[in-house]
Amino acid sequence: MQPVDYNTISKIYDDVRSGDIELINQLLSELSVGDSSRILDIGCGTGNYAWLLKELTHARVYGVDPSEGMLSKARQKAPAVDFRQGSAKALPFEDAFFDLIYMTDVIHHVTDIGRMFDEICRVLTPGGKVCIATQSHKQIEMRPIARFFPGTVLVDKCRYPDIKEIISTAQSHCLALIRQDILFDDRLIELGSDYLELVRKKGYSMLHLITDQEYQAGLNDLESVIRGGSIEVKPPGETLIWFVKNS
């Protein structure tokens, strides 16, 4: 499997990803945020969620990402956020620094989640919270894009640790499970010309990981369907897994 070049994807990343206020509200519901609160966005990308958090709170917000292309856009968007280059397996922060750490659609990019949870536990304060936003293998199967590119299901089941694995690995470190939530599964969305353009640009990372033949066949199918007008679909939703660091 070829690696995905996120410096290249950063040029169109904001066409694909945007911060969602419902997720931000979920994050803030678990923490009494004040001026001294420190919040970390791991795999912050172009800073969409970090920017929203900084706009809505007086917390000290930080973001970390391995891609300088992503970080360059993030710094332009949210100069009040402290963005640093680094990885989930080697966080560039001191011990017991953060009150809340979150990751949105990032954990499937981490090759060793045990080491990642070691680092999270190191930089998290006792009693601090962690939120992992991801998708289960069942949700991956239900994605609208799987209709046109079925190979993306296998690709992402290989990349994404399933929910049970995430929970068991976290619990084997210093974290205790609080709960799981499902978001965004109760709405209908329309796939139209904008969605088609994103697919043409390969704005979703899994499209870089299927064969050229499957990509072209799926694109042709999608173009044929969209040509008749937008289609309404029900998304599979996002799973939020909440943990707390043992004191």
Over the stretch 35-52, which tens digit does the pLDDT of each residue have? 999 999 999 999 999 999
pLDDT > 70: what percent of the chain? Answer: 92
**12: domain range?**
6-136+160-186+237-245
- Rounded Cα gap, residues 207 and 219, in angstroms: 10
The single-letter code of the amino acid at 128 is G
Rg (CA), the chain: 18
Q: Is residue 75 assigned to a domain? A: yes
Asked if the structure places residue 107 within a domain, the reply is: yes
Q: Structural domain tally of the chain? A: 1
The mean pLDDT of the chain is 90
Rounded to whole angstroms, the Cα distance separating 92 from 70 reads: 17
* Assigned domain for 206 exists: no
CATH code at 69? 3.40.50.150
- Amino acid 18: pLDDT: 56
Q: Decide: 115 and 222 in contact? Cβ < 8 Å.
A: no
- Confirm whether 212 is domain-assigned: no
